[in-house]
Structure 1
Amino acid sequence: MKIAMWSGPRNLSTAMMYAFGNRADFTAMDEPFHAPYLAKTGLDHPMMAEILSAHDTDPNKVAIACSDAGEKTHKYMKHMPHHMLDGFPLDWTSDCVNIHLIRHPARVIASYAAKRENPTLTDIGYPQQVALYDRIGGIVIDSHDIRQDPENDIKNLCETIGLPFDPAMLNWPVGPRSFDGIWASHWYGAVYQSTGFVGGEGPRPELEGAAADLLDAALPYYEKLKPFS
């Protein structure tokens, strides 16, 4: 089984990768289209030079790698919809279980802004995620639900996709993983300190100014996908 998990940033996506990557029967890939996206757009992102140097920037070669079954029984791929620019191959997704991980944009915006100033709607990927869902379909899950009851929700997800549950998905060792992208040192600090899914989320952040405007723009996209979760 190949799983393509589609998620915007700051959305429990790294914890989900660690959960599946902690299984003995899974290999994992971390945002393989990140470098092609930066190479094509030229956007100024943290560690951009390091990313372009360390990772393949050819989207066609990356698509071939995504099509490969991997060296273990199953393969998990962490992807971001906004990395899939026009012209980037998507045919490889037809052989995948496509899962769309969503999170309320107020929480995403507050978390993202702490790592990179002045995020845009393109940066947080809500329109791209809806467009991708409309194109390839798949399963929708909400990170809020997973954090509320990780064991039950992970078991339900495994049952839905026909994968036996493995308790190893609920806990992992502290620190980085061999499959982390080079950008992990900037973005994954909190996950490095974790040994499993953290508890339920508190009140939603109160956003002001440009962040509140961004929330207004993103919310309709989240609300379109939420009923499917």
Structure 2
Amino acid sequence: MRIAMWSGPRNLSTAMMYSFANREDFAAWDEPFYAPYLKATGLDHPLAQEIIASHESDPISVANACLGSIPDEKPHFYMKHMPHHMIDGFPLDWASECVNIHLIRHPARVIASYGRKREQATLSDIGFQQQFDVYEKVGGLIVDSADIRADPRSKLEQICAEIGLEFDPAMLSWEAGPRRFDGVWAKHWYDAVHKSTGFAGAEGPLPDCEDQVELLEQALPIYEKLAKMKV
């Protein structure tokens, strides 16, 4: 089984990658289209040049590898993808050979979290419209990160059942620290998950995002459309 997990930034996506990778039967790949995206767009992201230099930056090669040999000869492959990395001209046909899962999070939480790591976000940065576009093209399962945090075992059991995978309790916890499959961007973005040993608990009230009201108003209707279809 090859899982393409689609998620915008600051959305439990790294914890989910660690969860699946903690199974003995899964290999993991961290945002394989990030380097091609940065090379093609020239965007000034943290560590951009190091990312391009350290990872495959040709989108065709990356797409081919998504369907190539699974690392460490594992039977299953978990690929963490960000929909906004899939710019025009990047191949997406490979995704039809994968189990596609779309991880969503309320945009107020995404905006507040993103702002603590980088400058104020744009709609393109947080990927809501791109995620909806990818969902329309490839279909798949929609899961809200809030539901996972509220009851990790129950939700992970449901996800596994939906995709025909046996649940493994190893998904519920992991050792603290980085992973060898982390992208080089981990040192900027993954400090919290590197300190974690499992999923954080349920979140508190929504942040007000008073300095990003327009962005919230743009993203919220897209999130709500996706949330209506979640499992």
Task: Provide the TM-score with structure 1 as the length reference.
Answer: 0.99
Give the counterpart letter for 2:206 in structure 1: R
Instruction: Give the residue type in structure 2 aligned to 1:191.
Output: V
- Secondary structure of 1:228 counterpart: coil
1:160 and 2:153 equivalent? no
1:57 is aligned to: 57
State, as a whole percentage, how many aligned pairs show the same letter: 64
Q: Partner of 2:183 in structure 1?
A: 181
Instruction: Quote the Cα distance in structure 2 between the aligned partners of 1:194 and 1:185.
Output: 15
Please tell me whether the aligned partners of residues 12 and 143 of structure 1 are also in contact (alpha carbons under 8 angstroms): yes
Partner residue, 2:18: 18
**C-alpha displacement at 1:102, in angstroms?**
0.2
Specify which of 190, 193, 196 is matched with residue 194 of structure 1: 196
Partner of 2:128: 126
Residues 166-192 of structure 1: CA deviation (Å, up to 9, x unaligned): 011000000000110000000000000
Corresponding residue number in structure 1 for 2:6? 6
Which letter maps to 1:192? H
One-letter identity of the residue aligned with 2:228: P
The aligned counterpart of 2:172 is: 170
Cα distance in 2 between the residues matched to 1:203 and 1:191 = 21
Take 2:75 and 2:39, find their aligned partners in 1: how far apart are those partners? 32
After superposition, the CA RMSD in angstroms is 0.6
Conserved 8 A contact 1:69-1:75: no
State the AA in 2 paired with 1:218.
Answer: A
1:89 and 2:108 matched = no
Query: Do the aligned residues in 2 keep the contact of 1:2 with 1:69 (CA within 8 Å)?
Result: no
The aligned residue for residue 115 of structure 1 is 117
Q: What is the TM-score with the length of structure 2 in the denominator?
A: 0.98
Partner of 2:34: 34
Aligned to 1:214: 215
Ranges in structure 2 where 5+ consecutive residues have no aligned partner: none
Matched with 1:100 is 102
Question: 1:85 is paired with a residue of what secondary structure?
Answer: coil
Residue 69 of structure 1 deviates from its aligned partner by 4.2
Match of 2:78 among 76, 83, 95: 76
Tell me which stretches of 4 or more aligned residues in structure 1 moved more than 6 Å: none
- Cα deviation, 1:5-64, whole Å, max 9, x if unaligned, reads 000000000000000011110000000000000000000000111101100110000001
Output the CA distance in 1 between the equivalents of 2:97 and 2:223: 26
What does residue 206 of structure 2 align with? 204
